[in-house]
Amino acid sequence: MNLTGRTISNGQAQGSALVSQMGISFFGGVDPETGLVTETGHDLYGQSIAGKVLVFPTGKGSTVGSYTLYRLKANGLAPCAILNRECETITAVGCIISDIPCVDLLAIDQIQTGMQVAVNADEGIVTITQSPCLQETT
């Protein structure tokens, strides 16, 4: 399945999707030294965003969040790509200065955690290459 959106930050990446139904505040909500979501009550609390295709509706919080994304990248703990329903300035700037591919204006409800996703932000195309594993019950 292909989704088409708007390029925010160029680049290409592929990886496993980590999907949140909530906005993310990188400053105070993600630890740049561990890559873990630390915001109490967040649906991704305690999970690592490192190397994931991070999918969330929109960003929130302080403008220092852009620098937090940069620190995550410098520490090797950044997501490999970011996909949003609507990217706001904090996330956009963070992706641009950190060379993280970012696409928005996407129907992110089509993406589930664990799906394998290829992001071609140069073209604004997101391809879901594999569905998450389904476990059989006996």
What is the number of structural domains in the chain?
1
**Residue for token pair 């930050």:** 9
In this predicted structure, what is the pLDDT of residue 97? 97
Q: What CATH number is attached to the domain comprising 101?
A: 3.50.30.10
Is 62 labeled as catalytic in the residue annotation? yes
Region 59-88 average pLDDT: 96
pTM over 0.85: yes
Other residues' Cβ atoms within 10 Å of the Cβ of residue 33: 9
Pick left, alpha or beta for residue 126 (phi over 0 → left; psi -120 to 50 → alpha; otherwise beta). Answer: beta
Q: Which domain holds residue 90?
A: 2-130
| Residue 98 within a domain | yes
Residue 137 has pLDDT above 70, yes or no: no
| Residue 137 within a domain | no
Please identify which of the residues 62, 66, 98, 131 carries the catalytic annotation: 62
Beta-bridge partners for 36? 48
| Residue 138 within a domain | no
Handedness of CA 17, 18, 24, 27 (dihedral sign): negative
